[in-house]
Amino acid sequence: MNSLASELIELLSLERLEDNLFRGQSRDIGTKYVFGGQVLGQALSAAQATMDSTGAQRDAHSLHGYFLRAGDIEAPIVYSVDRTRDGGSFSVRRVTAIQHGQPIFFLAASFQQHEDGAEHQLSMPEVPMPEDLVEAPALPPEQLAKLPGKVQRWLARRGPFEFRHVYPRDELNPPKRPPYQQVWFRLSEAVGDAPELHRALLAYASDFHLLGTTTFPHGISYYQPNVLMASLDHALWFHRAFRADDWLLYSIDSPSAQGARGLARGQVFDRDGRLVASTAQEGLIRVVPAAKADTPLHPKG
């Protein structure tokens, strides 16, 4: 397996310390602090690992998280799971991510036993298929050298997911455009069939490109040193089975930005047009004087 994909799977596979206590490590992918998708995916992995007490197969159908403090890349993260409820059909887990004795993230996740029922969905947008698109070219070295060190590493890295933008945007010289985008993505290597793994992988990937869509009407970008961005919360709903190692379309829009906060929503479709997941996220967006600026809190594409 591709080492980048295997590293991500290892990252999402937590060390079990006690029945309800887990420990995860971090990877420096060029963000100033721990990447929000990493904490989201690890917290979901911790919650999923405590579903053994239900006596039946129950799958995560929704999760809601709040980012409380920036995570330290150099320190492990401890995940404490509260087995809040195991009912007849649903289970609820609450997860607290802790670093240096303080909570940095809260997650509530709900699980449901499989049931048949009425189905409908919105149609997938009409966009080119991923085979008809190409990955964005790498920045020329002379342009890359002008950016802050952390941003250079973010742009120069090749991560475990492949992204192909339907409407690419120049993030170094961002134009003003409507607040929506579509991005095809997939894990770079085929992995096993465990649905729990694919849900954790999607939770990780769902934090890419979401908040960045809120900046489109304003002609700003997280690459600019005076633009500070950070996730405040994140919601994710799983609708249907999917594979994170096959192409998925992330269709994102931003209905509002105000009060130094932006809201973005996303729909995830598989290549056959089935709606497999939905997301929502609000994040902090501050444009500050250059003298006070630092690298972005959490770079968002």
Catalytic residue list: 207, 231, 281
Instruction: Tell the residue number behind the tokens 């009409």, with chain if given.
Output: 126
Token match 């006596």: residue? Answer: 55
State the amino acid at position 197 in one-letter form: L
Q: How many CB atoms lie within 10 A of CB 138?
A: 11
Closest CA to 234 of 280, 177, 175: 280
> For residues 202 and 267, is the Cβ–Cβ distance under 8 A?
no
Whether the Cβ atoms of residue 37 and residue 207 lie closer than 8 Å to each other = yes
Q: Which two tokens stand for residue 259?
A: 């009060």
User: Would you say 186 and 247 are in contact if contact means Cβ atoms under 8 Å apart?
Assistant: yes
Query: Which ranges in 145-187 belong to alpha helices (H)?
Result: 149-156
The phi and psi torsions of 187 (rounded to 5 degrees) equal -65, 140
